[in-house]
Structure 1
Amino acid sequence: MKNLFGQQFILHQWERFRASYWFIPVCLMLISCSSAFVFISLIDRPDLPDWVQTIAPMIEQDAARQLLSTLASSIITATSIAFSMTIVALTMASAQFGPRLLRTFMLDKGTQWILGILLSSFLFCLIATHQLDSFAEFADARSLLVATAMLAMIIDIFGMIYFLHHIARFIQADQVIYRSYREFIGNINHLFPQPAAKSTIRVIADSLPQPTEFQHAVFAADCGYVEYIDYECLLQTHPDLIAGIEVFARSGDHIFTGHRLMTIHANLPVSDAHLADFAKQIRVGTNRTPIQDVEFAISQLVELALRALSPGINDPYSAMACLDKLTSACAAIGQLEFPAQSIVDTQSNSWLKRRTFTLEGVINTAYDQIRQASVCHVAMIIYQLQSLYSLRKAMPDTVQPLISAHCDAIFQLTDQQDFCGKDRRDIEEAYALAR
């Protein structure tokens, strides 16, 4: 069971739940059903305190039925409007920011909560209307039920007002860029996990893992993107059989059927059933996920910048905002320690060698495509050089040559363009400062 429900498996399932529109609404609907039946059970004790009777005045059976029916109709109409507005916002976001950015919109808790509140209020009124005849003789319970439905309607009204404001604000480019950046910062603890104090995993030199006599290849059974790899569970899978594991795939990689995922180094032959247990620790899906993929959120910001620089949109200020967030993200990553390529479990003496992300790869992902797309845009060229100058001050000495290489690449592209004298001088000044 430990191999099946590892930490990465739990993170993957939680990522699926929180990136769905149904999770919070379903939870609120279950609470609504439970609340309705709790109020209905009050027929066994209809004598309510005086302060409750003040809030929930007496109401006749027919009036209660009509009021509940009216509330249910109004709420479901408001719900359909909210759904329509959500679909329109998603359509606009897909066209302007790209379909891959829809995940950021689906993670929005405000939209999920409003849809959940509306649906749960409608369900409460529907159940109350259906069960109204079952306690016709108990006016106190009926009055409390109708008063609760009225309170839910008031909450729905304020919720719709908030929803209109939230949707109008959420589809703004600056908000989308900021949310993508905040999501990345929020996932840093998962992307760069610190080893537990009692962990048996230790870092070793890349030259220490030695091949064994028996080597067994594990191949992919399907094509897709590697969503996560549970490295700790890999080392704990059949530790009595293996001496080490060499993993060739990495989170975010696209693999095909028959792709070589890993090589199992063992001191004796390993059965196909045991090899299948190792393959289960690599999750392959249809999309990239941010669970272990450091470059996932970086790529989202890059995509926003590239779309902003496209001739159809031509929004250089949004591209500059993306550059600001990319620089901040790279600066934050530069202070962290990347996972080691080679580790060993001191308890079983099993080693693992893997491909990992590097700071150099993250910086290249952040700046390469934007540089190539803004070759004719003077303002973006200067802003990139200024961003690299800011990044240089936050990076360790080992990364300084890489930043200089990016500055040189930007300046070399400008030599191929026919800029006026002032633009050329501005670029040269920015280059001299950043270089």
Structure 2
Amino acid sequence: MRLDFRSEWRREALRTNLWLVPMLEVLGAVLLFVGTVAIDRAAYHGAIKLPSWVISGTADASRQILTTIAAAVITVIGVVFSVVIVALTLASTQFGPRMLRNFMRDRGTQWTLGTFVATFVYSILALIAISPGPHGDFVPHVSITTTLVLVVLDLAVLLYFIHHIAVQIQLPQVIASIAADVQKAIAAEAAPDSAGRPERGLSANELLARMAQEPGEVKATESGYLQYVRHSTLVRIATSTDSVIHLLQRPGHFLVNGRTMAVVWPADAAPSVARALQRAHLSGPYRSLSQDISFGIDQLVEIAIRALSPAVNDTFTALTCIDWLGDSLREIALGWHPEQVHRDAQGYIRVITTQTTFDRLVQRAFEKVRQAAAGMPAVMIRQLDALTEILEQVPLAGQRRVLLEQAEMIRTLCLETVPEKADREDVLRRYDTLARLAGTLQA
């Protein structure tokens, strides 16, 4: 079942920041303080009696306790923020700047920051609550006890954060998390929106031919990467104007202000579609994986070619990336079914989209890594192994053809750049295994 991209995009936008979760935790701390101070007020006026384990003391002692806690917590907050900044800097230099969003969206870091900030806010509110009253100084004993409980909780969270950040900056963990995001994006397009609807009216090729004769162009109103397209909204727009929309750009493409973004037929519906189209897409300064599977592939490739660079020379990281690239392409071949056309309830084509192909995804996954792996037989062997595993499961002859093309280019690179005969023979044996498998599947 196809996931709701609109809700998925909102979740992604809300998740990729460092302020939402801390803000919610601060709000929770304020609400908790309202509850505990109400109990303290009731106990102060004699309406209830506090249990013996609740911490009691004078107003001066309570101020001293809360001031010490607030000072200690704000110091730890500074340390945690410093660790986060160091982790982001490390991610930017070692993994690439596009990996920063993967670290910013980490819930463990967000909850850690939020817990310490919430404790600080709560302790300040409890400190402010100490005040003179008709029955002597009002001291919020329950609130002070709750503050101490929160400090103990903060210690546990700090230990968790140290472990968590140490795990998060490990390259295998980073690579696996990117591959998991690709898997989610593949699952999101597992079933077409128009599945089961009748097919009526002109075909996509006939509509494109008419658009070429009578194009109604819709221009982009701002520059930036196309991040998200709400196809259901576009279908409603096209249905209401009795038109067909051909999107020339897909998520991941860079929109240039004033350039054609879509073509509408008939042409006289273009102005109405142009006004409504602004509500049906989002663009921004960065790419998103919500509807752009190739972005996840590019992230893995970026880590691999950085690892293969002379400055880093980390072959094993590149091999790990190749393993996950092969697994992602296998899933794409088996379960990714991007819709080229979107139909209305009556079965008429209303939206024609531009989609990346399996061939292009294979090229993106293997070509740059192959180009960076000149003279590295270990990388060539791992790429051939990945191609073999994909080849065993792809259902279509065209998919097998593009895999075999990549294998042939790896073979050529091996013959041209690997000087050692034994290393060349190892690579060529892997290639021969793949070629035999391809011949068996075609027979």
Give your verdict on TM over 0.5: yes
Contact 1:204 1:344 in 2 (8 A): no
The equivalent of 1:27 in structure 2 is 24
- The one-letter code of the counterpart of 1:186 is K
SS of structure 2 residue aligned to 1:55: coil
Provide TM-score, normalisation by structure 1: 0.91
The equivalent of 1:58 in structure 2 is 56
Q: Percent identity?
A: 26
**Count of paired positions:** 428
Contact 1:217 1:264 in 2 (8 A): yes
- Structure 2 CA distance for aligned equivalents of residues 332 and 71 of structure 1: 51
Q: Tell me, which stretches of 5 or more residues in structure 2 are unaligned?
A: 436-443
> Structure 1 residue 291: deviation in Å?
1.2
Aligned partner of 2:93 among 95, 111, 128: 95
> Structure 1 residue 241: deviation in Å?
2.2
Aligned partner of 2:160 among 162, 165, 171: 162
Q: Residue deviations 1:372-410, cap 9 Å, x none?
A: 110221111111111111121122133211111111010
Contact 2:129 2:139 in 1 (8 A): no
- Structure 1 CA distance for aligned equivalents of residues 275 and 90 of structure 2: 44
The aligned runs of 1:209-224 (5 Å cut-off) are 209=207, 211=210, 215-224=215-224
- The one-letter code of the counterpart of 2:409 is A
Provide TM-score, normalisation by structure 2: 0.89
Deviates more, 1:61-70 or 1:350-359: 350-359
The equivalent of 1:82 in structure 2 is 80
- Structure 2 CA distance for aligned equivalents of residues 13 and 27 of structure 1: 17
Q: Tell me, which stretches of 5 or more residues in structure 1 are unaligned?
A: 1-5
Specify whether residues 161 and 187 from structure 1 end up closer, same or farther in structure 2 by C-alpha distance, changes over 3 A only: same
The aligned runs of 1:23-422 (5 Å cut-off) are 23-46=20-43, 53-133=51-131, 137=135, 142-195=140-193, 205-209=203-207, 211=210, 215-237=215-237, 239-266=239-266, 269-270=268-269, 272=271, 274-347=273-346, 349-398=348-397, 399-422=399-422
Deviates more, 1:296-305 or 1:274-283: 274-283
SS of structure 2 residue aligned to 1:56: coil
- Structure 1 CA distance for aligned equivalents of residues 167 and 114 of structure 2: 20
Q: Residue deviations 1:41-86, cap 9 Å, x none?
A: 2244326988x62431322222111111111111011110000111
The equivalent of 1:3 in structure 2 is none
Specify whether residues 29 and 194 from structure 1 end up closer, same or farther in structure 2 by C-alpha distance, changes over 3 A only: farther
> Structure 1 residue 255: deviation in Å?
2.0
Specify whether residues 87 and 11 from structure 1 end up closer, same or farther in structure 2 by C-alpha distance, changes over 3 A only: same
Specify whether residues 248 and 85 from structure 1 end up closer, same or farther in structure 2 by C-alpha distance, changes over 3 A only: same
> Structure 1 residue 93: deviation in Å?
1.2
- Structure 2 CA distance for aligned equivalents of residues 330 and 48 of structure 1: 68
Q: Residue deviations 1:167-210, cap 9 Å, x none?
A: 12211111111111122223333344543889789998533436
The equivalent of 2:440 in structure 1 is none
Q: Residue deviations 1:220-278, cap 9 Å, x none?
A: 12221111122221110152423311111111011212221111112x73373552212
- Structure 1 CA distance for aligned equivalents of residues 22 and 40 of structure 2: 29
Contact 1:202 1:344 in 2 (8 A): no
- Structure 2 CA distance for aligned equivalents of residues 376 and 135 of structure 1: 82
Contact 1:61 1:136 in 2 (8 A): no
Contact 2:341 2:349 in 1 (8 A): no
Give me the CA root mean square deviation.
Answer: 2.7
SS of structure 2 residue aligned to 1:335: helix
Deviates more, 1:277-286 or 1:160-169: 277-286
- Structure 2 CA distance for aligned equivalents of residues 403 and 64 of structure 1: 71
